[in-house]
Amino acid sequence: MSREEAERLFARNPYKLRYIRDIPPGETVSYYETGTWSDLCRGPHVPDTGWLAGVHLLGFSAITPEGREGTAPLQRIRGVGFPTEAALKEYLRLRAEAEARDHRALGQKLELFTFFDESPGFPALLPNGVIVLRELERFVREHLAEAGYAEVRTPLLWAQSVYETSGHWAHYQENMFLTVVDDRTFGWKPMNCPGSMLIFRARARSYRELPLRYAEFAPLHRKEASGTLHGLTRVREFVQDDAHLFVTEEQIEPEIRHLLDWIARAFSTFRLRWSYELSTRPADFLGEREVWDRAEATLERILKASGIDYRISPGEGAFYGPKIDIHIRDSLGRPWQTGTIQLDYQMPLRFGLQYQGPDGQLHTPVVVHRVILGSFERFLGVLLEHTGGRLPPWLAPIQARVLPVTETHMPAARGLLDELRQDGLRVQLTGTEESLSKRVRLAEVERVPYLLVLGDKEVAGETVALRTRGSREAVVLTRPELRARLAERIRMRAFEP
């Protein structure tokens, strides 16, 4: 139907008129009729609702029309329809399965983390959760060492003036926690960048120091709106595998290409699927349009040169620069941003950063802000959903459990426990008060990657029966074989036990 016709038909509906206006000039304005029902819609529609045998309502919620708060909310009712009841049942089964992988439920069952009503949005990490986060940090730090980073630690609170310089005061204040000390206003840092800028500026810098790479794993605080909080994936306090690279114009491309390589390597280790987005200049931006255009073009050129498929997210850049964002999805398919590479010409200028070049002149460096896994908390949340809590052995809080069949096998079990502890494994020994079947079941429920059973046969033959997570069969190995095998799987950061 023509645009004019549509506008006439929906003349009394301001929302529909707005949709019609938003349809780009070249595209067709489509309109559907199903029985007595008619509507403006991008479509397609089923020709007849009789085609839908299995119908299920998923829920309803308010949506804010025109993307503005304060406007009258509309109610959205969401549901799904399938040609057959069986297809609907299958869909609901898959959905229930996905819900069972919810990281919030797994976090509680596996005693990884918890939340207190008295501190909404601030995760409390239990002993098991700390083990996993420490291993993730170790994984990242190994790379930092290889790639020539230095690690810094800067203050959690900065005076207002620092944020005025960085631009956060004008562009990010509503997301910040503020504290008044001795009549001065301090802000809890929402990002690490100001601290790194100040360290760079703390003394004279030479071009010989560049690229200068400062990593920082400090807790960040962001006052997220209460309704947006979500388990570990959206919190008010978190730690990122953050770093700031101070580079010359020529060093931008090799540095970013190296980062893209590392992203692929890092995410492959977890068998995650990820996607790239190029986020461009937002409405609320710092600096000159030309500088932004150049920065966006640089990122786009590097993406193309690296043969990477990406989507463009117009206006989604940070207030100080465009960025390449990495997204991964949770068990219900909701996308979460993890890694990001941001090209920043603004903060170096605003902080007055300079280095002396080979020409003897002072130059302003460019800063690349980058995180790979993003927030460790969010990453753990998505990883739990991705694995259903079956973390790779190198991340598992309990890597192995020794199960003596009866009390008489206890001495041998203790010996094995000691040996594996010597090897650096996180290993436990169960008592024999519970039946072996029950202990095997518990270990599966707790997602322990390796079960080591010792009975008469094993003790006599100085062997161990190894049952790996998810397998119903046991393999008999000698102790040296077992130790070598476990150590190797963990050392290589194998995804499966």
Q: Would you name the residues annotated as active-site residues?
A: 193, 222, 240, 242, 244, 323, 369
Work out how close the CB of 370 gets to RNA at its nearest, in angstroms, rounded to a whole number.
11
263: CB partners within 8 A, 6+ apart: 274, 326, 339, 372
Closer by beta carbon to RNA, 145 or else 283: 283
Using CA atoms, how far apart are residues 66 and 82, in angstroms rounded to an integer?
31
Residues 84-113 that bind RNA (CB under 7 A): 102, 104-105, 108
Of 376, 400, 382, 405, the residue nearest 452 (C-alpha)? 400
Applying CB under 7 A, the span of 193-201, 257-265, 434-442, 478-486 interacting with RNA comes to 434-442
Piece in contact with RNA (CB under 7 A), picked from 35-43, 141-149, 221-229, 259-267: 221-229
- The gap from C-alpha 162 to its chain's centroid, in whole angstroms, comes to 28
Options 25, 35, 227, 360; binder of RNA; rule CB under 7 A: 227
Which of 81, 357, 388, 455: binder of RNA (CB under 7 A)?
455
Instruction: Tell me which of 189, 205, 281, 378 binds RNA, using CB under 7 A.
Output: 378
Handedness of CA 50, 56, 62, 65 (dihedral sign): negative
Segment 385 to 404, residues that bind RNA, using CB under 7 A: none
Based on the shown chain and the rule CB under 7 A, indicate whether residue 383 belongs to the binding site for RNA: no
Give whichever of 36 and 228 is closer to RNA, judged by the CB atom: 228
Determine, following the binding rule CB under 7 A, whether residue 238 of this chain makes contact with RNA. yes
CB of 308 to RNA, least distance (A): 18
The one among 80, 157, 176, 229 contacting RNA by CB under 7 A = 229
**Member of 241, 255, 296, 325 binding RNA (CB under 7 A):** 325
Copy the structure tokens of residue 356: 């002396």
Number of residues in contact with RNA under rule CB under 7 A: 77
Residue 237 pairs with which residues in a beta bridge? 221
- Which residues within the stretch 404-423 sit at the binding site for RNA (CB under 7 A)? 405-408
Nearer to RNA, 469 or 483 (CB): 469
Q: Which of 340, 335, 328 is nearest to 271 (CA)?
A: 328
Whole-number Å distance between alpha carbons of 219 and 240: 8
Question: Under the criterion CB under 7 A, does residue 236 sit at the interface with RNA?
Answer: yes
Q: Which stretch binds RNA (CB under 7 A): 204-212, 347-355, 445-453, 480-488?
A: 445-453
**Interface with RNA includes 48 (CB under 7 A)?**
no
Minimum Å gap between C-beta 430 and RNA is 11
Specify the residue, 210 or 446, whose C-beta has the smaller distance to RNA.
Answer: 446
Number of alpha helices (DSSP H) and beta strands (DSSP E) in the chain: 16, 25
Say if CB 380 and CB 391 are below 8 A apart.
no
The rounded distance, in Å, linking the Cα atoms of 235 and 110 is 20
**What values do phi and psi take at 300, rounded to 5?**
-65, -40
The only residue of 14, 43, 47, 73 in contact with RNA, by rule CB under 7 A: 73
Angle ∠(243,187,182) on CA atoms, nearest 5: 135
* Using rule CB under 7 A, residue 62 touches RNA: yes
Considering the complex, state which of residue 143 and residue 201 has its C-beta at the smaller distance from RNA: 143
Cβ neighbour number for residue 177 with a 10 Å cutoff: 15
Strand pairing report for 366-375 and 237-247? antiparallel
Tokens of 186: 């301090």
Residues 333-372 that bind RNA (CB under 7 A): 334, 336-338, 340, 371
- The verdict on 456 binding RNA (CB under 7 A) reads yes
Binding mask 249-288 for RNA (x = CB under 7 A): ---------------------------------x------
Residue closer to RNA, measured from CB, 141 or 230: 230
Strands 212-216 and 450-454 turn out to be unpaired
Beta strands in 302-351 (DSSP E): 310-313, 323-329, 335-344
Map residue 396 onto helix, strand or coil.
coil
Q: How, if at all, do strands 150-151 and 212-216 pair?
A: parallel
Window contacting RNA (CB under 7 A); options: 7-15, 145-153, 210-218, 220-228: 220-228
Give the nearest distance from C-beta 440 to RNA in angstroms. Answer: 4
Q: Does 481 bind RNA (CB under 7 A)?
A: no
Among 24, 44, 67, 360, binds RNA (CB under 7 A): 67
List, as one string, the DSSP characters of 15-57.
HHHHHHHHS-TTS---EEEETTEEEE-S----S-GGG--EEEE
- 226 is an interface residue for RNA by CB under 7 A: yes
- Kindly state the smallest distance separating residue 278's Cβ from RNA, in Å: 13
Backbone torsions φ then ψ of 124, nearest 5 degrees: -110, 125
Name the minimum Å distance from CB 175 to RNA.
Answer: 7
Torsion, CA 250, CA 255, CA 256, CA 257, rounded to 10: 100
Q: Does 76 bind RNA (CB under 7 A)?
A: yes
Question: At closest approach, how far in Å is the CB of 122 from RNA?
Answer: 9
Q: Does 22 bind RNA (CB under 7 A)?
A: no
| Nearer residue to RNA within complex by CB, 57 or 145 | 57
Between helices 289-305 and 252-269, what is the axis angle to 10°? 50
Nearest-angstrom CA–CA distance, 328 and 333 = 9
Q: Does 127 bind RNA (CB under 7 A)?
A: no
Place of tokens 């114009």: 249
